[in-house]
Structure formats: structure tokens, C-alpha cells
Amino acid sequence: MNWLKEKLRHKFGYALSGVLSGLRNDSSIALQCVLGLITIIVCLFLPLSALEWCVILIMVFLVIAMEFVNSAIEKTVDYISTQRHPAAKQIKDLAAGAVLLISICALCVGIIIIGGKLYWIIFGK
């Protein structure tokens, strides 16, 4: 059983190291984390249901996770070759496109949930 604890400790350590590295070294990841934190702070002052909280948290963390994946793909492509190549550009563009799509989805969800609550608070229904 000790080997399992040790293995899990190492895996979580590697994951935490990756998160901290991303926050320190990637401005896009840091920006998404700040925007996510702002979103969560705003939501603390809104009358959200448990389901709305779940959806907001899923979207916030999905955008951040997608940014981590995008950054990992970009760094992998850069590591494989320092030369510019159309395939490398397409790979990076596809990964960035995935972040864009999930960010648009998160924005729409935010407008529906947060915007709806703010509208109700400001205009009374």
C-alpha cells in the first residue's frame, strides 16, 4: 500500500509542477486563470443555483485546461523543430482554435447565466 501512496504522491507532484510552471511561464494561462478567478468572484455575489455553479466552474476550468493543452502542443511543436513549417503552423493554429471555441462557449454560458442574473438584479426581472 505504501508504493501506491508514493506513486500517487509523485503523480500529483508532477501535475502540480506543471500547473505552477504554466502559471509562471505562460501569459495566456495566467490570463485565463485571472479571468476565471474574476468570474468566480463575481459569481459569489450572485444568487446562483447549484447547477449554475457547476456549469460556471466546469466552463472556467475547461478553458484553463484547454489553454494548458494548447501550450503543451505549442511547446512540443517548438521542441521538435525550430524551423518554420506549414504543418507546424497548422498544428498550432488548430490547438489555438480549440481554445477559441471553448472560450466562445464559456462566454455564451457566462452571458446566459451571469448576464441573466445581473439583468434581474439591475432591472428587477
Residue 118: Cβ-neighbour burial (10 angstroms; 0-12, 13-18, 19+): middle
The type of residue at 103 is S
Say if residue 52 carries a ligand binding annotation: no
Say if residue 26 carries a ligand binding annotation: no
Q: Which of 22, 36, 59, 67 is catalytic?
A: 67
Q: Rounded to the nearest 5 degrees, what angle is found at the Cα of 62, between the Cα atoms of 41 and 39?
A: 15
Say if residue 14 carries a ligand binding annotation: yes
Active site residue 67: yes
Say if residue 93 carries a ligand binding annotation: yes
Q: Measured between alpha carbons, how far is 65 from 71 in angstroms, rounded to an integer? A: 10
Binding residue positions: 14, 67, 74, 92-93
Binding residue positions for substrate: 67
Binding residue positions for ATP: 14, 74, 92-93
Active-site amino acid positions: 67
Binding residue positions for a divalent metal cation: 74
